[in-house]
Amino acid sequence: MPHQCIECGRTFPDGSKEMLSGCPDCGGNKFQFKPRGTAEPEPDAEPSADPAQPASSAGSEPTAGSEPPPDFDSRSGPETSSPGPAESPDPTGGSDPADRGPEAAESSDAAEPDTTDPVDGDAERIDDGESEDSAQASARSDVVSPDELDRAAREAGTSETGTSEAASESTEPPASQPGVDELRDELNEQFESIRIVSPGQYELNLMELYDRQEYIISLQEDGRYVIEMPDAWGVTDE
């Protein structure tokens, strides 16, 4: 539930079109962006995925790749086939376990819930919207500050040390690193209109900004933003 109406608190899934014409409940046009990690009451699935990234010592960048690994692996399978020599023949759902082939048995023993939870999360996302939304979600997830990631990592570390170890092991193979870079490039190309790289640093997708009917009139570093609704201009939908 990444978007929350700050007037009435109603939440919307990522990519939801409902909010484009204002909150259906209260008509508010201010929404808060809540990354999945902070919004979900039971952060089982997220911390188990998130700590994997800080542990891989690649900073906050791969977070983009951390959220929808099965989705993206399967999509970019043919492209990433070169870095992973023997593991690519299975481009569909199997590519994720294949990446971790050598340690698959070990990690699945240690972290059975760990392997199932992300799948649940992914399935939920697919229900929410089209495939594009997962890319948007990943791009937006970059907004999560390193502090929040660290906190999530610490929580996960204290509650289930076994799974976090397994997760860090499973992402260790450097063979998958080029794939992550490619994925990141791909996501950078796909990011929505404005990407907050860090406070005060922005990347803008001009075509996206031009194409969208509503426009962002105010940004805040915590991921909040205000958009002006097309209805407010008296313009009907095309």
**Per CB under 8 A, does 204 bind other proteins?**
yes
Tracing tokens 């990519």 back to the chain, one arrives at 15
Site for other proteins in 207-226 (CB under 8 A): 207, 209-211, 215-221
Give 154 or 224: the residue with its C-beta nearer to other proteins.
224
Least separation in angstroms between CB 194 and other proteins: 6
Supply the minimum distance, in Å, between the C-beta of residue 223 and other proteins: 13
**Cβ nearer to other proteins, comparing 127 with 211:** 211
Q: Which stretch binds other proteins (CB under 8 A): 24-32, 56-64, 134-142, 202-210?
A: 202-210
Q: Does 229 bind other proteins (CB under 8 A)?
A: no
Choose, by CB under 8 A, the member of 201, 234, 237, 238 that binds other proteins: 201
How big is the CA angle at 133 (ends 129 and 136), to the nearest 5 degrees? Answer: 160
Residues of the shown chain interacting with other proteins in the complex, contacts defined by CB under 8 A: 193-194, 199-207, 209-211, 215-221, 233
